[in-house]
Structures are given as C-alpha cells and as structure tokens.
Amino acid sequence: MTTRTHARPDGPGTRGILYVHSAPSALCPHIEWAVGGVLGVAVSLDWTPQPAQPGTYRAELSWSGSAGSAAAVASALRGWNHLRFEITEEPTPSSEGTRFSFTPELGVFHAVTGLHGDIMIPEDRLKAAVVKAALGETTLLNEIDKLLGKPWDDELETFRHAGDGAPVRWLHQVV
C-alpha cells in the first residue's frame, strides 16, 4: 500500500517516494518515527508482508517536503540491519533529482537524476572509472555498472517485483 504525506517545506518544495522493500516487524515503528522526524509530520505506513523474504514487511510512502529530504531520510535509515529501501526526490528549479538505494550488503547508492529520471554521472566519476580500468584494477563495464547502481538494482529487483499487485491507498494530509 502507498501512504501519502505532506510536510511543510522550508525551502523549495519537492516530492518523492520511499519504498521500504523489506524490514523486520520490530523495525517498522522505528522507520515511521525516523521518516516522520525528517519530514516533520507523523507517518503511519501500511505494512504488508514481503513475500520475497518471509518474516519481513514492505511499505511505500509518497511524500512532499523540502529539497534534500530524500538525503535526510536515507541518512536516518542507512545502516539498519535487515532493511532494504529506496527513496527518490524529484528535481526542483534549484536542485537536481536524487535516488538513494540501500541494502545491508552493499550500503548506500546515491545518484543524481535528471528531469526524466535518468542517472546523471559527473565527469570526474567517469574519469576515475576510466583510470581504474586503465590501471587494470577493474573493467570499465564493471565500473560503469557501479556508477549506474546495477549491483543495488540486481539485489533489490526480487523485492520490487514481490510488491507487484499490492493494493495502493493514497492518504492526503493538509498542513
């Protein structure tokens, strides 16, 4: 299910979606408190069982808030064992969009996204990937895959599809 919430933006307003792909039941209220603390509103998610990992739960939150909220939520949630999540933030006139993915095994992946959701890779990161490949430390394809978040996508794909067909409910809170 998807829950919708609005926070009072302190800066340029934006919106995004938080996908909690898997979390143990004991962690669910802590996730709600952490996200609510960042967004400045009470958050109550509709948790449904995650078939890809029995004993865990999934939830979605469509949120509105100030630019940088996705980074703050990712910082608040990163490092929690047994948690898998993704959070996106749409671009504003003064900021790029962002995408964060987290798995316990890989940690945090961060990407800047363009207007249509494409990952935008900074020039210096591309140059570093070429140098690493030229030195024989890795292959260029492997480095590009990392820059695009492929290892995170590969790990999260099973959890994403396990949510297909889950009921969706939109809640609106006026602030």
Averages of pLDDT over each 10 residues, the chain, 175 residues: 56 88 96 95 95 95 94 94 95 91 96 89 95 95 96 94 54 37
48-65 as b/e: b if 16+ CB within 10 A: eebebbeebbbbbbbbbb
pLDDT number for residue 75: 96
Contact 156, 21 (CB under 8 A): yes
**Burial zone of 46 (CB within 10 Å; 0-12 exposed, 13-18 middle, 19+ buried):** middle
How much is the pLDDT for 174?
37
- Alpha-carbon distance of 117 to 100, in angstroms, equals 12
Q: Give me the pLDDT at residue 164, please.
A: 57
Neighbouring-strand partners of residue 112: 98, 120
Per-residue pLDDT, 170: 37
pLDDT reported for residue 64:
93
Query: What's the rounded Cα separation, in Å, for the pair 56 and 58?
Result: 7
